[in-house]
Structure 1
Amino acid sequence: MSLLALALESNPSDHARASTIFLSKSQTDVRDKRKSNHINHISHVSPGPMSKKYSSCSTIFIDDNTVSQPNLKSTIKCVTLAIYYHIKNRDSGRSLDIFDEKLHPLSREPVPDDYSRVDPEHKLIYRFVRTLFSAAQLTAECAIVTLVYLERLLTYAELDICPANWKRIVLGAILLASKVWDDQAVWNVDYCQILKDITVEDMNEMERHFLELLQFNINVPASVYAKYYFDLRQLADDNNLSFPLEPLNNQRAQKLEAISRLCEDKYKDLSQTAMRRSCSADNLIGIRRSNAVLS
């Protein structure tokens, strides 16, 4: 087998046998927490009844006190925790200008001077993703597909998700996942209504770059989806998080594969045409506008 074939088979977003990147990046922290908990347990003797057990990771218990789908909320917590470990345990700071928040801000508020040096807390990542999913009424399955696309981008383009680019990379992954998975695709202009200050032209440009970096490969095999699902369950267990979402059944698995392959073919057709800088794939995926966004 060639080195190229071996490299492709080691990509978790394409092959079910390859280990997910986020789970491996979380293991160092998990081992350290378990070691710390073990030391604290054997060094502390309490004469009374055992006290309530709390997670050693103080940033993962988030209660936004809103009426929401519990499965969706739990899934977003786990997916954003995976993103948190990607950022915290990144290999370097490899990025591209199109994802730099200083060069392409998402709001009119000034970007802090230390925006590229301070790692975001898990709750900040959660709130950013939760806002988008709530406003666009996206599903828990869409959150998992978002993580697949994110890891595919990092491996295909040899990038790192870091403090300077995490918001735009996550936004790009959500943008594609919502078009491929959800029945009512959210158009780029809808996300502009959610984020308010970002322009449609910027969204289209970012989408175009994201697709090109993915080599227009947006196919998500059911086996890959299942692997990400179970690795997220493992991440949840390691961090004392609830993750009640049921595994993908056969019918929905077939739907995911069929839709993602169809969309991939359409995107590839688009790549063979003259693609203007303002071009978007909104007209290719889902002809229905979503009414779910906040205006």
Structure 2
Amino acid sequence: MINNKQQKDRYSNTTSSMYIKSTISNPNVKSIIQAVSTILHSQMQEDQEQGKQIPKTSELYFFSEEKYIEEKPEEFDEQRKLLLREPPSVDNIYEFMKALYDCAQFSPECCIICLVYINRLIAFTGLTLNPTNWRPLLLSSLLVAQKVWDDKYLSNADFAFIYPFFTTQEINKLEAKFLELLQYNVTVKGDLYAKYYFELRALFKGDQEFPLYPLDVTQSANLEARSADVQKQEQEKAEKLSLTYNDRQTRKPAAIIN
């Protein structure tokens, strides 16, 4: 969990002066998607105004779509490159999240957990949001959030089908890098979830436009337990892969007897 005494929550002050008028049906999910989109757009604008950029030598460049365009330039014409580099509007972010929701049918709680993870990644790494990394970051965070909260969730191959910019192998690597930079800290406690919930709800004028209820005591305990289980599983998986890799690097070839 983020140490609030050491790291200021970068989203905590973004809800004070923005209000959303929701006119979309099924607000349980769509309104919260709209709220998350507004928060991410505000943060991206702030980062861009401050001129913050991610150098290509940084680990964080792994999430930039520019990296993948450079690796397979023949797949992208100039018009598509320009579109990918264009700063998104709130509606652009909303439509991307909504497309993921339409296919994945994740629970509305996943939107809040997703925002927790992106904010945690910012706190741990100094990540800045920009036009070419917000989609991979959203994809990665929602993928992990759904594994934490939902009983049934899509595979990485399904997410590659939803957003074919990435292959399944690339999404596997995005998820692995996302977890690595999070230090596998995907545990979410009830009080932290509640903090994000109420900040998102504050974006709306009236509870009737944001009808998702806070988690009760049982649900909060369940979230903490499930996220802690996923954290343990991912840490064990990473350790096993690391040991396997190290073993391959240090194992000497068997002696050949003539």
**If the length of structure 1 is used for normalisation, what is the TM-score?**
0.70
Identical amino acids, percent of aligned pairs = 30
Map residues 93-242 of structure 1 onto 2, 5 A cutoff.
93-94=53-54, 96-104=60-68, 110=77, 111-113=80-82, 115-116=84-85, 118-237=86-205, 242=209
The aligned amino acid for 1:9 is N
Query: What's the offset of the Cα at 1:157?
Result: 1.2
**Cα offsets for 1:13-35 (capped at 9, x unmatched):** xxxxx6x42242455xx3xx8xx
Point out the more displaced range, 162-171 or 206-215.
162-171
Q: Secondary structure at the match of 1:24?
A: coil
2:11 matched residue in structure 1: 22
Q: Is the 8 A contact 1:11 1:155 kept in 2?
A: no
Q: Determine the C-alpha separation between the residues in 2 that align with 1:187 and 1:180.
A: 13
- Among 215, 223, 231, the alignment partner of 1:256 is 223
SS of aligned partner of 2:240? coil
Which stretch has the larger CA shift, 88-97 or 184-193? 88-97
Q: How many residues align?
A: 230
Find the residue that maps to 2:185 and give its secondary structure: coil
Give the distance between the partners of 1:131 and 1:62, measured in 2 at CA: 18
Distance 1:229 1:206 in 2: 26
Does residue 8 of structure 1 match 2:3? Answer: yes
Structure 1 residue 197: deviation in Å?
A: 4.3
Q: Which amino acid aligns with 1:82?
A: I
CA contact (8 A) 1:94 1:158 kept: no
Instruction: Give the residue type in structure 2 aligned to 1:178.
Output: Q
Change (3 A) 1:184 1:11: farther
Match of residue 287 from structure 1? none
Which structure's residues are more often helix, by fraction? 2
Alpha-carbon separation, structure 1, partners of 2:46 and 2:204: 18
Q: Is the 8 A contact 2:15 2:200 kept in 1?
A: no
Q: Distance in 2 between matches of 1:181 and 1:75?
A: 16
1:198: Cα distance to partner? 2.1
The two structures have a TM-score, normalised by structure 2, of 0.79
SS at match of 2:152: coil
Comparing 161-170 with 268-277, greater Cα deviation is found at: 268-277
Report if the CA contact (8 A) 1:11-1:152 is conserved: no
CA distance in 1, matches of 2:128, 2:15: 15
Q: Which runs of 5+ in 1 are unaligned?
A: 1-6, 13-17, 34-54, 278-295
Please give the per-residue CA displacement for 1:266-294, whole angstroms capped at 9, x wherever unaligned: 111112122589xxxxxxxxxxxxxxxxx
Contact 2:27 2:209 (C-alpha < 8 Å) held by counterparts: no
